Copies of this chain bind each other. A is one copy, B any other.
Amino acid sequence: MIITLKQRTTKKQVNEILKKIVDLGFSYHISKGESRTIIGVIGKNAILTKENFENMPQVESVTPISKPFKLVSREFKKENTIVKFGNNKIGDKKIVVIAGPCSVESKEKILHIAKILKRMEVDGLRGGAYKPRTSPYSFQGLGEEGLKYLYEAKKITGLPIVSEVMTPELVPVVSKYVDMLQIGARNMQNYYLLKEVGKINKPVLLKRGLSATVEELFMAAEYIMSQGNSNIVLCERGIRTFETYTRFTLDLNAIPIIKNMSHLPVIVDPSHGVGVRDYIPALCRASIAAGADGLIIEVHQQPELALSDGSQSLFPEQFMQVMKELKYVAKAVGRYI
């Protein structure tokens, strides 16, 4: 951590800072430049005390040298973390494809699409039972009833289930039915929820917030890991930009960043990321080529009748075509589906 002092800082003010550094158990180096003095603070996790210094009036800025996350970093753990989701190993050589409707709409429909998807060789089933909707007047999901239908679909098809949990008190009920709990983009910094899923033993699919930097995504994962649960799958799902032809801007730059800085696996949700059906297949291919460990894709047997997100759900035949294409791309990057 580097502390840059304002110009014309007095000797006394410098000493106040040095004393604070020593009091906190760190050592330091001073460097007097032509116009400014800078102080390097040395010691493990010095960055965690950043705020102690940056609010001192003689300090101009505090520059981190190390990153503010630890447990999720590749420096902390060199080898890739592999997360078990049913029989799948997310982060291993096989690409994991999870598919399903945006919302669970009825028992019949979810069983129907689950069987179709099973035949198309997906690895897991998605479906929302509790739905975060921008409007209070939109369909809010079937709740626990929806989870039961998902569970039934699992029993019939063998597909493991991922579904969203929106608030801490629902963690127990959602955990009862699903194989992986999803934290949605709008809840990425819902810290009570992060802590709660950090205490259980199930995998967590953590989606990047709409305006979260990759570093903030890591910090959210750090919340979960710091509670003891390291079965975390990160998920890129699009960030908010000025572009209007797409719903969000899927940020595939995040894939190599995550692979470089963290040991956690990462999958991509192109359905929410781009939000326009016809553009999704291209971004599925690109995600795998960029190094993602899997995909989570919205597929609906009749998108035109979907109660939510219909315009971004693939038709089953489109999805089948996507699966075919992805096999080639996976092979091209030394993996398989």
A interface residue numbers (CB < 8 A to B): 2, 4, 7, 29, 31-36, 38, 40, 42-45, 48, 51, 54-57, 63, 65-66, 68, 75, 132-138, 166-169, 186-187, 189-193, 195, 209-211, 213-216, 219, 222-223, 226, 239-246, 249-253, 255-257, 259-260, 273-274, 278-279, 281-283, 285-291, 303-311, 313, 325, 328-329, 331-333
Residue contact A249 to B253, C-beta cutoff 8 Å? yes
Distance A63 CA – B62 CA, assembled complex (angstroms): 11
Residue contact A43 to B48, C-beta cutoff 8 Å? no
Residue contact A286 to B134, C-beta cutoff 8 Å? no
CB-CB under 8 A for A42 and B51, given A167-B190, A286-B289:
no
Residue contact B187 to A190, C-beta cutoff 8 Å? yes
Distance A124 CA – B148 CA, assembled complex (angstroms): 48
Q: Which residue of B lies closest to A191 (CB)?
A: B132
Distance A210 CA – B51 CA, assembled complex (angstroms): 21
Oligomer: number of copies: 4
Residue contact A246 to B253, C-beta cutoff 8 Å? yes
Q: Which residue of B lies closest to A259 (CB)?
A: B282
Q: Which residue of B lies closest to A313 (CB)?
A: B55
Q: Which residue of B lies closest to A333 (CB)?
A: B285
Residue contact A33 to B40, C-beta cutoff 8 Å? yes
CB-CB under 8 A for A33 and B333, given A55-B306, A253-B283, A308-B51:
no
Residue contact A253 to B278, C-beta cutoff 8 Å? no
Smallest beta-carbon distance A138→chain B, Å: 7
Residue contact B253 to A279, C-beta cutoff 8 Å? yes
Residue with the highest number of chain B CB atoms closer than 10 Å, among A65, A166, A283, A331: A65
Residue contact B250 to A51, C-beta cutoff 8 Å? no
